[in-house]
Structure formats: structure tokens, C-alpha cells
Amino acid sequence: MLHDLLNALQETLFMVFTAGFFTFMIGLPLGVLLSVTRKGQFLANPFLNKIFGTFINAARSIPYIVFMVALIPLTRLIVGTGEGSIAAIVPLTLAAIPFFARLAETAIAEVPKGLIEAAQSVGASPKQIIYKVLIPEALPGIINGLTVTLVHLVGYSAMAGAIGGGGLGSLAIHKGYHAFQTNYIVATVVILICLVQMIQICGDYIVHGTLKRQ
Amino acid sequence: MISLKDVERVYKTSNATVHALKGITLNVKQGEIFGIIGRSGAGKSTLIRCINLLERPTRGSVIVDHCNLTTINKEALRHARRNIGMIFQHFNLLNSRTVYQNVALPLELMGLSKKEISSTVHPLLELTGLTEKANEYPYHLSGGQKQRVAIARALVNKPKILLCDEATSSLDPKTTHSILQLLRDINEKLNLTIVLITHEMEVIKSICTEVAVLHQGEIVEQGSVLALFADPKSDIAKEFVKAATRLEMPIALRRRMRPQPTSTTHPVLRISFMGQSAQEPFIAYVIQHYELTVNIIQAHLETIRDEAIGIMIVEVMGSADNIQNAIAFLESKGLHIEVLGHAPRST
Ligand SMILES: Nc1ncnc2c1ncn2[C@@H]1O[C@H](COP(=O)(O)OP(=O)(O)O)[C@@H](O)[C@H]1O
Ligand SMILES: [Mg+2]
């Protein structure tokens, strides 16, 4: 049983953190874009903002389970298979991106306008404002958003297990539910709780570190 | 150095059109400390932000150091802005950077090496008295220290102009004084042209050489600070001077006063004198020479940028002709006289 659990945990960690990585890499630029193209911002572009905003809202309103099934063909195209933990990363990432992008957008929008003006007054370009002002100043909020996203990914990855995604969710369903081994269910739940706690503690610790100077 | 020609700024919101600036024409000479004073909502911030084009004028031209900023492209504008430092009421420092890193930011944006940056930043920290605080984060600084950091950051590109948007409005009087002193120092040491906006006459009085009064998007009065104090023309300027000198007629007297003279009234005058005329005893002279009785109701004497200025409110009793002659004599000596009204003889 221990062996099963460790294997499943490893798969879950792999899914969550790989998906988390891609989510961050794609979601952060998207969040920046959404924030700086808002009305009244320094790269205001209502048209672009509306398009991306609508797209993200649409993606966020699809239930994850539907999302996952609907994406199977795309997943096959990208990773060659529709099953297993590698395949699960595609829908996980695509579901988490809009979620994280909105959180990053909010964090960045909270950077006081005066800081942008101060940077503009010394000749900063839009790119420099983003890299030197917006992202560093919004970092605590962005990391908070990433923590929340990773926690969501843990939950989604367990759901992915139900349709052959592997990981702790899969273990609980197959060994625990179908084979009536309650101890598997209890053990996976305990591990999931611990995992979520760990992510939250780490996230809070990092945020605290960046906030200590403020 | 700075020349605004017929600058207009209109804000269109969904339910209103605001004419924040209505045709501002303004010239600031090299090395001046030019103050713009106005009440809240007068358009001061809009005006000063038009100088570095943080706010783009709806119409008109902005010429800074021989360059028309309204016609150049974005890249050239970014370049031109390095020549115009700016500080703000709320300091606008980056919380994620130390004092040193905040001051270094403009140089970092230009891609200078660490060594070049360090050799520019350290002298500036010295100048602004921040050497000890170099590695602190802004959160741990007082308001005055934060404004010093902002000043150092604004100066790090070696600009020719410094714009100050209500730079002392969120500081206590003592800190305000030290920041103004610093601004005056750098004006002299670096021969920097400073434009500052404020709603406080104290600020204008302590460091400005020239002043413009802004009211509802228009410049209603402009001239030397001394002249504004001695002889404010617009109602709004009169109010600012009154508030700064705390010269206010006693209510009892104001109630008694009439706008027109009669046979039983005598005039109440506001007499102001400055520079050389403040040194000589003209009042004593007219009392004797024109056989007048002068009752000083209030007086205010002070030094503005090293020049003495005095303002008095007096009741003058004597024959109407003598009073007229005395006024003419004083005016010929460079004193400013304003007839505030006519008070009936008190019984
Ligand atoms: N971005 C804006 N949109 C709409 N109206 C504005 C904007 N900025 C300023 N205003 C209006 O312009 C006028 C002048 O504002 P401002 O320059 O900030 O005045 P001050 O700095 O003298 O208090 C005010 O009536 C203000 O409401
Ligand atoms: Mg203002």
C-alpha cells in the first residue's frame, strides 16, 4: 500500500507542478496584458482587453470535468495519448491559466498608478514599466495567486484521476472505491490535505519574505 | 526654458466635459523657482503634468529646452523626459526596492553599468542626506525621508528641470521646511529650474521667485512673489495673501465699513511696502507732514526670499485733501495703497 501511495503521490506532484509551471509561464503574461490594456492604463486597448477577457470568462465557466473530456482530442494531438498523468497536464494547464491570469491581473492592477507615472517621468518604456515596476511591485499578490492556483490544481488533478489521469485521485477511485479498501481512501485524503497545507505554508512563507520589506 | 502656448486640456467623461485647462500661456526662465498656486481642483496637477506630457494637452504646445514635446514621437519623448525630473505628493517610491535601488532605477533603465550607477547614486544620496539609509526599504522611512529619496531619484539623470506636484502637501511644517530648503539648495548648486505647484502660500513665500495664480483652469495673475504679496489684484490672490499674512480686519470694523465715503467716514487702507521702501519711515513722515492721525489696525512684517515686506491695515483720520495727497505721496515712493472701505467715526 505504501508503495502505491508513494507512486500516486509522485504522479500527483508531477501533474500539479508541471501544470503549475506552464500556467505561470502563460498566465502571468496574460494577466499583465489584461491589466495594462484596461481602460485608463498606459497601454489601454479596450478592444484587445474585451477579446481576451471574454475568452477567459468563457473558459472559466466550463466545469472542469467537461473541459477535461472535451480536450481529449487536443491532448492526443499534443502528447500522443489521452491517458496517464502526462496527458492530464494539458487540460489541467488550460483550465488553470484563465484562473491564474485573472488573479495576476488583479494583483497587477493594484499597483498604484503613481508608480507607473514616476517610472514614465524618468523615461521608462512600457516594457520597462512591466518588468521593473509592475511585476516586482505586484509580486506578493502574484505569488498568492499562484498558491491558490496550485491548491486548485491539486483538486483538479484528483478529478483527472477519475478518467484515467493517474495520481492520488486515481488510486482512491480504483483501489479505494471500486475495490472497497476504505483505508486507501482515508490515506489519499490525508495525503491530499497535507499536500494542500504544504503548498499554502510555502506560498505564505515566500509572500511573507517579499512583504517583510514593506 | 519652459514655454507653454495656449495649452488646453479637456476631460471627457461619460456624463460631463471638464475644461481642466483653458488656454494656459506661461514662460519659465532658466534657474527660476516658479510657483503655481491654486485651490484644489484648479487644474494645477493637470498643468504640471502637461510639462512632461504625462498628460497630453488637448490643444497648444509645450516647449521645453527648445524642443516642442507635443510634436515628437514616443521614443524622443522618453528621451526628453530624462531632462525633466518630477516629484509627487505621495512620493511614488517602489516598495520592492531599497533607497539605493529606487534612486538607481532611472540609470538602470538606461542600461548603465553597476559601477557607473554607483558613482552617480552615492553622491546624490549624500546631497539628500540619505547615505545612512541606502539599504533601507521605503516602508521604514518617514515622509520627509521618502521625499528626499524621490528627489534623489528625480535628479539622478541630471535633469535641467524639476517638477514638483504638491511635494510638501503631505508633510508636517518642519519637514516641509527642510524639503523646501533642500529644493532651494539644489536650485542654487545645480542651477536647476524648478516648477512647483501648491495650494499653500507658505511654500510660494519661502522659495519661489516667480508665481502664477491658477483659478478654474486659467492663470489669473502672474509676477514676482514680492509683487503678489504687496499688491494682489485678483480676488483669489487676495485671499491667498490674506491667509498667508493672517491679516484680517476685525469683524466689528468690517461690519461698520461702507463702500462709499461720506462726510462722517474716514478711509481704511491696506498699505504694503517692500524692498527699499520698507527701510524708510514714510508713514511717520506723512503723519507729520499731512497732519494725519493713523490708527494701525493690523500689521505684518516679514522677509520673503531675503527681501523685507510689510503689510498694514490702517484707519486714517484727517482732512480729505490731505489724505488724498498722502496717498499720492506714498504711491510715488513705491508703496502700494488699496482703499478697503470707509469706516464711520467711532463714538
Ligand atoms: N483623468 C481625469 N478625468 C476627468 N477629469 C479630471 C481628470 N483629472 C482631473 N480632472 C478634473 O480636472 C480638474 C483639475 O484637476 P487637477 O488638475 O487634479 O486639479 P488640482 O491639482 O489643482 O487639484 C478637476 O475638476 C478634476 O476633476
Ligand atoms: Mg493636484
Residues B104 and B212 in one domain: yes
- Ligand 2 centroid–CA B207 distance in Å is 19
What's the rounded Cα separation, in Å, for the pair A56 and B252? 70
H/E stretch holding A207: helix A182-211
Using the structure block, give the residue that is written with the C-alpha cell 502563460: A26
pLDDT (mean) for B280-285: 83
Residues B200 and B277 in one domain: no
Q: What is the pLDDT of residue A214?
A: 64
Buried b (16+ CB within 10 A) or exposed e, A35-73: bbbbeebbeeeeeebeebbeebeeeeeeebeebbeebbe
Q: Which residues surround ligand 2, an ion (CB under 5 A)?
A: B 45
Q: What is the pLDDT of residue B226?
A: 86
CA-based end-to-end distance of chain B: 59
Residues B304 and B168 in one domain: no
Which ipTM did the prediction report?
0.86
Residues B264 and B146 in one domain: no
Residue B300, judged by CB atoms within 10 A of its CB (0-12, 13-18, 19+), counts as: middle
Amino acid at A158: A
Angle at CA B27, nearest 5°, toward B243 and B212? 10
Domains of chain A in start order, with CATH, are 2-213 (1.10.3720.10)
Show Cβ contacts of residue B67 under 8 Å, excluding neighbours closer than 6 positions. Answer: B80
pLDDT at B279 over 80: no
CATH value at residue B21: 3.40.50.300
Residues B9 and B76 in one domain: yes
pLDDT at B20 over 80: yes
The string of pLDDT tens digits covering residues B140-173 is: 999 999 999 999 999 999 999 999 999 999 999 9
pLDDT at B95 over 90: yes
pLDDT band for position B30 (50/70/90)?
very high
Among residues B244, B262, B326, B245, the alpha carbon closest in space to that of B291 is found at B326
Residue B309, judged by CB atoms within 10 A of its CB (0-12, 13-18, 19+), counts as: buried
- Domain extent, residue B304, equals 255-344
In a domain, B338, yes or no: yes
Q: Please report which ligand is nearest the Cα atom of B37.
A: 1
Buried b (16+ CB within 10 A) or exposed e, A122-153: bbbebebbbebbbbbbbbbbbbbbbbbbbbbb
Q: What's the length of chain B?
A: 347
A210 touches chain B (CB under 8 A): yes
The string of pLDDT tens digits covering residues B187-200 is: 999 999 999 999 99
Buried b (16+ CB within 10 A) or exposed e, A169-190: bbbbbbbbeeeebeebbebbee
In a domain, B247, yes or no: no
pLDDT (mean) for B265-292: 84
pLDDT band for position A7 (50/70/90)?
confident
In a domain, B248, yes or no: no
pLDDT band for position B44 (50/70/90)?
very high
| Beta carbons of A203 and A44 less than 8 angstroms apart | no
pLDDT (mean) for B291-302: 87
H/E stretch holding B303: strand B293-304
Among residues B64, B28, B33, B69, the alpha carbon closest in space to that of B198 is found at B33
Mutate to test the interface with A, among B13, B94, B112 (most CBs of A within 10 A): B94
In a domain, B177, yes or no: yes
Please give the residue of chain B at the shortest CA–CA distance from A123. Answer: B78
Residues B200 and B231 in one domain: yes
> Which residue from B9, B17, B18, B197 has its CB within 8 A of the most atoms of ligand 1, so it is best to mutate?
B18
In a domain, B86, yes or no: yes
Q: Pick the range with the lowest mean pLDDT from B18-22, B134-138, B208-212, B258-262.
A: B258-262
pLDDT (mean) for B277-305: 83
Nearest atom in ligand 1 to B39's CA = 22
What's the rounded Cα separation, in Å, for the pair B78 and B263? 68
The string of pLDDT tens digits covering residues B308-322 is: 888 888 989 888 888
| Beta carbons of B74 and B138 less than 8 angstroms apart | no
pLDDT at B118 over 90: yes
B220, B242, B264 - which closes a domain: B242
Phi, psi of B336 (to 5 degrees): -100, 130
CATH value at residue B305: 3.30.70.260
* Ligand 1 pocket member B121 (CB < 6 A): no
Q: How many CB atoms lie within 10 A of CB B301?
A: 12
For B39, which DSSP code? -
What's the rounded Cα separation, in Å, for the pair A24 and A17? 10
Higher pLDDT: A78 or A53? It is A53
Show Cβ contacts of residue B28 under 8 Å, excluding neighbours closer than 6 positions. Answer: B1, B2, B3, B34, B193, B195, B210
Q: What is the pLDDT of residue A176?
A: 73
Mean pLDDT of chain B: 91
| Beta carbons of B204 and B211 less than 8 angstroms apart | yes
pLDDT (mean) for A10-38: 94
CB spacing of A123 vs B82 below 8 angstroms: yes
What's the rounded Cα separation, in Å, for the pair B155 and B86? 9
Q: What is the pLDDT of residue B346?
A: 64
Q: How many independent structural domains does chain B possess?
A: 2
The string of pLDDT tens digits covering residues B229-260 is: 888 899 999 899 888 887 777 888 888 888 88
Residues B232 and B260 in one domain: no
pLDDT band for position A212 (50/70/90)?
low
B192, B216, B242 - which closes a domain: B242
Instruction: Give the three-state DSSP class for B268.
Output: strand
Residues B184 and B64 in one domain: yes
| Residues of chain B above pLDDT 90, percent | 65
The string of pLDDT tens digits covering residues B328-339 is: 999 888 888 989
Residues B121 and B234 in one domain: yes
Q: What is the pLDDT of residue B191?
A: 92
pLDDT at B184 over 70: yes
In a domain, B249, yes or no: no
What's the rounded Cα separation, in Å, for the pair A124 and B78? 7
Q: What is the pLDDT of residue B70?
A: 93
pLDDT (mean) for B106-116: 94
What's the rounded Cα separation, in Å, for the pair B142 and B201? 24
Residues B206 and B276 in one domain: no
B214, B242, B270 - which closes a domain: B242
pLDDT at B347 over 60: no
Q: What is the pLDDT of residue B169?
A: 93
Q: What is the pLDDT of residue B246?
A: 77
Residues B124 and B81 in one domain: yes
H/E stretch holding B143: helix B143-155
* Interface list for chain B against chain A, based on CB atoms closer than 8 Å: 52, 54, 78-79, 81-82, 84-86, 88, 90, 92-98, 105-106, 108-110, 137, 139, 150, 153-154, 156-157, 163
pLDDT at A5 over 90: no
pLDDT at A188 over 90: no
Residues B164 and B136 in one domain: yes
A128 touches chain B (CB under 8 A): yes
